[in-house]
Structures are given as C-alpha cells and as structure tokens.
A and B are shown apart, each in its own frame.
Chain A
Amino acid sequence: MHSFTVRIGPVGFRVGSAWPRPVAALEAIYAGYPGPRDGIADFTVRLEPERPWRRFVRPSVAIRGDFILPDAVPMALRHGFLAAEMGMNLQMALGQRRFLLLHASAVERDGRVLLMTGESGAGKSTLAALLGERGWRLMGDEFALVDPVSGLIHAFPRAVSLKNAAIAMLRAEASEDRFGPELDGTPKGTLRHLRPRADAVARMDEPAAPALLLFPRYGHDRAIRPMGEAEIFVRLTQASTNYVALGEAGHAALARLVKTVPTRAIDYPDSAAALAIVDMLWAEQAR
C-alpha cells in the first residue's frame, strides 16, 4: 500500500493507494503542504482495485474511505489522482462537523473575505484562482469553512480544479511547476489542478471575517442584482453539504452570515467583466 498524508487548512487527510502513481501525483501537487496535526488524519481515502485480480488485468480505481459513495464510478487508473481528490472532497462534504461547509470559493484581502458560491460552471473556482494570482489570498476554490462560533471563514486551499478553458487562462498567470497532470476525458471534460501560491499555503491557518458574498453566473450579459435575505438563506442551505447535520449551530451560523454580509447576484459574459464587477463591489463595501 502506498500512502500520502497532507493537511489542508484545519483538515488532515491520509490517502492509501494500491498503486504508486496517484500518490506520486498528490505528492507533487501538494509539495510544501504540512502533514496532519499530531500525525493523525481526520479523514482517510483508500484507492483499491475493484477486485484483486483486476489490479493485474485492467486497473480501475474504486474510491473507498470512511464514507463510501455507493455508485462511485470506478475511473481508469490514470485518473487515480482525480479519484483521490474526489474522495477527499466527498469526505469533507459528508463528514465535516466542526464547520458549516459551503460550496463556495473564498479569497481574502486586507483581512476580509470575498465568498463566491453557485452551481458547477458558475465560475466561482476560476474567478477565485484568477484573483489568487492578482493580489488576493486564495483561501479555497471549492469549500468555504464557516466557524459556527466565531462566524469567521477558515481556509481550505486544496489544489484548484481547473476545467477546460480555465486551464489556458491560468497557465498565462502561474508557473508550470504549480500544475498537475492534464486529465482528459473526465466527466467534466479536461481537468488540470493548480497548487495555490506559496503564501496562500503558508497562511492557511489564518481565518478572516466574511465581507462580501457573490452568486456569480457565467455566460450572461453583465448584471448586478440585489438579493433578499430569505432567498440568500435558502440558496446557502442548498450550497451547504452539512447544514442539516449541524442542526441548530448550522441555522445560527447561516443566519448570522445572511444578516451581516452584503450579497449580490452577478451575471457576467467573460472573466474580465467578472473581475471588474468584483473590483467595483469590493471598493463599495470597503467604503
């Protein structure tokens, strides 16, 4: 069994793999990250052959861990790295109890956090990655961790998952050694992972207060729309993977976020337009 451990923000992971390649890919993309606190992982992901004999015949990877996705489609072995990433995300989504988890990207500037949430394809990951190369600290492209006690956002700066056109966009901004292998033919098209900047990794234990929440939507004419509190609340419960599991603490954390953080829905035709809107709204809320 080949094994890899890493700490991403407050969460320690251990990945065990029957094959060396996914572990080598994880070691490369997470170079410079610390190990789990006290050496103990919060979550374990195992990549194992579906049946022992398949390891020799036609390798495919099944994700196994503390939580099991019953219909997880075994992926070809060369996507084992992707399977490990999916397993880590899945366990965070289902097992995290210390924080309210939002499907949102988070970037920080001047000690305050911009959150962007939305469905897959809304652009939250790409926009966060771009901002992370342009003076903001990337706190995470996929999950924002809301501390139910303090209301602060904790960073979860896993490797950014770039899809299709976003890959070229970020290759123009970041050095080649920060990219993982190109994974083509995945259910989401071509994927490539990007390691956040070294300062984002070094500062991942610094939480910060949320200051602006955006619901971006890609592929529409430029528009900025205010949203009502009840709509925001309902959409955030949908964006959270563990709102129900957190019970009363989740309700309180979400209500505080909705009541205190200015929120806008934004439509944008391209990344440049989105970044201009972000600049404008950020300057407005900072006044």
Chain B
Amino acid sequence: MPRRYRADPRSERISVEMEGMAVIYHRPSGITHLLAAPAPEILDALSDQALDVDGIAACLAAEFEIAAEDEIAAVVADRLIELEGAGLVARI
C-alpha cells in the first residue's frame, strides 16, 4: 500500500497571501513558513483526509484543472519531502 500523508487541520495554520506565495504561521510549532504553489494546496488537501501521492495529485489536478496527473505526481513527491522536513506534513 502506498505511503499516505496527513497535515494538521486548517485551523492550525494562519495563512496570508503575499506575491502569490503563502506566508503561513503554523500554530503547533510557532514557525512561520513561506510557501509557493502547490505546497499550500497540498497542505489543504491533506487537512481533510490522509492521502497518498496519487491522491494528492488527483486533488491538485481537479483544483488547477490540469490533466497530466503523472507530471503532477512527480512534483507532489518532491514537495512532500520538503513539507515533511518542515514539520508541516507527517506520514501515517
């Protein structure tokens, strides 16, 4: 079974948009993150439910109306490594 990921609920993040990026205050850690798309969208998708890479890619494909889910999945996998390192998503 593919690895699944989860993020804190949306209420645990305060996000302000600046220049197309999200300046996010993460309440549980007290750390501020500056995230570019699609990282904020990945966090939002993982706030509602635990998903694997393909599941996240499907969410983003629907949100951005992009068909090439394979290419999105590669990007998602890279961003997940960064988001996990930043303490914003966790594997379950």
Residues of A within 8 A of B (CB): 228-231, 233-234, 237, 243-244, 247-248, 251-252, 255, 258-259
Contacts and interface: CB of A to CB of B under 8 A. Distances in A.
Most buried by B among A231, A237, A255, A259: A255
Nearest to B32: A251
8 contacts: A230-B18, A230-B21, A231-B19, A234-B34, A237-B32, A248-B25, A252-B14, A259-B16
B27 interface: yes
A108 B27 CA distance: 35
Contacts, number: 33
Interface of B: 14, 16, 18-19, 21, 23, 25, 27, 30-32, 34
Contacts of A251: 14, 16, 23, 25, 32
Contacts of B25: 247-248, 251
Nearest to A256: B16
Given A230-B19, A230-B34, A251-B32, 18 more contacts: A228-B18, A228-B19, A229-B18, A229-B19, A230-B21, A230-B23, A233-B34, A237-B32, A243-B32, A244-B31, A248-B14, A248-B25, A251-B14, A251-B25, A255-B16, A255-B23, A258-B18, A259-B16
Across the A-B interface, give the 6 residue pairs with the lowest CB-CB distance, nearest first.
A229-B18, A251-B25, A230-B18, A255-B16, A230-B19, A228-B19
